[in-house]
Amino acid sequence: MARIFSGIQPTGIATLGNYLGAIRNWVALQDGADECVFCLVDMHAITVFQEPAALREQTRQMAAVLLACGINPERSILFHQSAVSAHARLAWIFNCVARIGWLNRMTQFKDKAGKDREAVSTGLYVYPNLMAADIHAYHATKVPVGDDQLQHLELANDIAEKFNHDFSSTFFPRIEPLVLKESARVMSLRDGMKKMSKSDPSDQSRINLTDDSDMIAAKIRRAKTDSEPLPEQLDQLAERPEARNLIGIYAAILGQTPQEILHRFAGSGFGPFKEQLAEALIAHLAPIGARTRDYLTDPTGLDQILQAGARRAAAIAEPIVTEAERLVGFLARA
């Protein structure tokens, strides 16, 4: 049995992109032979400022969404990162193993810091070291992520290798990314070249998993398209990113290929297609939204689920990180 680890930031409401690109795969992985550890990475979230009350609210909200989507807290371990101090302890050791030159190559930091690199938090800079600690604290070897996280996983392997070398050990195993399929990349409803994101300023750009049926229908109706009818062949959509995206969403929801969807709608305009897409999305997402709202009526119950998960997580991570501390040369903890 291998161990799977993945994390999601509790910032903003989960979108259809998070669902098709990550959460749905997590739910499927639960049915395999591997042990799954799923983490709400609140420590990663504060690398950019979060209102404390909003962070608490959004951590519960993301827990509710994951449970509503089918994460089973008995079968998988579901918890919030800050509740298991092993993450912070191993991250510090990794801050001392990783080289500044390695972090300087991280494209996500460059994107997020933008032009004002001197003004962002130091946490944002060492974010990938914390991510490496998340995974290695569990000796997890399989990590489901979107392709935007691959560079961070390579870094996590470099850190493990250098740690093993520096401390003459074979303590940290190599990790293997489980990369999600290209078709699972969902783009903005307003701009087919931009990823659908919970941090986009326009709510019209995304479907939130908590949107009700009317909102879903309205957003799909207003989604950007073009004036051409839908073509016969998928490659004819190469220059039509918005159309390609809507076809991809419909295919992902129905579990069919985009080409199968095109066969059904070839020659038709977007009107009838959008109507059926909205219907399929509502059928799929409305029950998730309802279950999410249901979980959110009981914040104490959600906290208890996360705390129980944190106890199970700590039982795995604590001995691993204690051994890393011993290898580094720290005296035993009391």
Which of these, 99, 113, 111, lies nearest to 155 by C-alpha position? 99
Indicate the residue type of 241: P
196 lies in the binding site for ligand AMP (CB under 6 A): yes
Q: How far apart are CA 194 and CA 329, in angstroms?
A: 47
User: Which member of 26, 42, 44, 258 binds ligand TRP (CB under 6 A)?
Assistant: 44
User: Are the beta carbons of 190 and 224 closer than 8 angstroms?
Assistant: yes
Binding region for ligand AMP (CB under 6 A) out of 68-76, 145-153, 219-227, 261-269: 145-153
Binds 7: which of ligand TRP, ligand AMP, none (CB < 5-8 Å by kind): ligand TRP
219 lies in the binding site for ligand AMP (CB under 6 A): no
Q: How far is residue 327 CA from its own chain's centroid? A: 32
Q: How far is residue 51 CA from its own chain's centroid? A: 21
- Residues touching ligand AMP, count (CB under 6 A): 17
253 lies in the binding site for ligand AMP (CB under 6 A): no
25 lies in the binding site for ligand TRP (CB under 6 A): no
Q: Which of 115, 142, 162, 198 is catalytic?
A: 198
Binding region for ligand AMP (CB under 6 A) out of 56-64, 87-95, 171-179, 196-204: 196-204
Three-state SS letters, 92-131:
HHHHCCCCHHHHHCCHHHHHHHCCCHHHCCHHHHHHHHHH
- How far apart are CB 152 and ligand TRP at their closest, in Å? 6
Hey, which bits of the chain come out as E strands?
3-8, 35-40, 77-80, 142-145, 176-179
Binding region for ligand TRP (CB under 6 A) out of 3-11, 64-72, 193-201, 256-264: 3-11
- How far apart are CB 300 and ligand TRP at their closest, in Å? 26
Q: For residues 145 and 189, which CB has a smaller minimum distance to ligand TRP in the complex? A: 145
Q: For residues 18 and 225, which CB has a smaller minimum distance to ligand AMP in the complex? A: 18
Q: How far apart are CA 136 and CA 257, in angstroms?
A: 36
198 is catalytic: yes
What helix, strand, coil percent values describe the chain, rounded to 5? Answer: 60, 10, 30
Which pairs count as long-range contacts for 117-122, CB under 8 Å and 24+ apart, including other chains? 120/48, 121/47, 121/48
Burial 271-307 (b: 16+ CB within 10 A, else e): eebbeebbeebbeebeebbebbeebbeeeeebbebbe
5 lies in the binding site for ligand TRP (CB under 6 A): yes
Q: For residues 220 and 314, which CB has a smaller minimum distance to ligand AMP in the complex? A: 220
Helices 52-69 and 270-296 sit at what angle, rounded to 10 degrees?
A: 110
- Residues touching ligand TRP, count (CB under 6 A): 12
142 lies in the binding site for ligand AMP (CB under 6 A): no
Q: What angle do CA 210, 198, 144 make, to 5 degrees?
A: 95
Q: How far apart are CA 259 and CA 235, in angstroms?
A: 9
- How far apart are CB 63 and ligand TRP at their closest, in Å? 15
24 lies in the binding site for ligand AMP (CB under 6 A): no
Residue with tokens 């906290």: 303
184 lies in the binding site for ligand TRP (CB under 6 A): no
Window 171-190: residues binding ligand AMP (CB under 6 A):
184-186
Window 124-183: residues binding ligand TRP (CB under 6 A):
131, 134-135, 143, 145, 149
90 lies in the binding site for ligand AMP (CB under 6 A): no
| Interacting residues toward ligand AMP by CB under 6 A | 8-9, 17-18, 20-22, 145-146, 148, 184-186, 195-198
Active-site annotation, residues: 112, 195, 198
